[in-house]
Structure 1
């Protein structure tokens, strides 16, 4: 089980310090929002580059944008490990996954809470990760929607692909995510909103390991 920390809820005036505080995480998760696919605007490639310069942790870029193919290459060129696009913004998931693979990054596709796995099931063999959203994307701090755990189970039973869960993830629900079949947990506010980020990450690891056993 890997834990990624989303820096969307960080204080951007001291973003570097926030990245340092989550050094215990396996990955840094970067939510790129364009103000069209989701109402909010977050940051773009310059911030991703700055985070990359700050840490040796793998970077996962989550594109919450319209026309993701128009943006994916600039992040791949920076050397991020995974780029995740939204199924709702991609009429041809396989084409996007192929393009990302050719660019040298792992390809992920995110599913909003209301979007069924069947929308991308035909192309899952081309994907490295399916990211199940447990909140409506666009803002941090939303409550976890437990109904998405059934989607995680469905994906886990149907195919051999890495499954991530993103949104409202924290110590209270990580064990349930692990039991459902998640391989990666993306947590933001629960970690960065604490005084001791490393302690929260350790707690999440213990709870997932206990449930998996």
Structure 2
């Protein structure tokens, strides 16, 4: 990623496939639940690396012992705190978001991106990376879909689950910072973030030269 690309990240602990899919709100909870029950859904061993967001996470939370139905190290889960509480089956999250995300990733055997003002990317092997570069433009409806799509696109290019999640979070935050600087913090749209992803990628590549 280079020095500039890594500047927004703080490693918390040291330590491919050419296809990917993303499961997000367009699926709908009802259709997703039917897919999960008939065997064509999340537990299918034929799935490529997959990003689960929004309704996909809500569907999972309704399945008893849901993590045991997923192939290990096959998914990136991208919950916000509310979705994280549902996945954990609790009404309260501990204040240490790094510990929450890391414990969940290890227990679920999946990569977890716990979104927030401070976003944590955690891996099943206990690694975690913290990004504290959030801003209000990234709290707009639909920006989570932009992040999920960015991670899915990086998975499709052959990055590992963890690397795709880390880089996706960085690029998403970089694009969000451009939106804030150019348009301010009020009235922005998810499409504003999406439109600036190519420039975020370009800036990262130029920083590596």
Per the TM superposition, whether the score is higher than 0.5 is no
Determine which structure has the larger helix proportion and give its number.
Answer: 2
Answer 1 or 2: higher relative contact order, Cα 8 Å, separation at least 6: 2
Q: TM-score band (shorter)?
A: 0.3 to 0.5
Normalised by the length of structure 2, the TM-score is 0.40
Determine which structure has the larger strand proportion and give its number.
Answer: 1
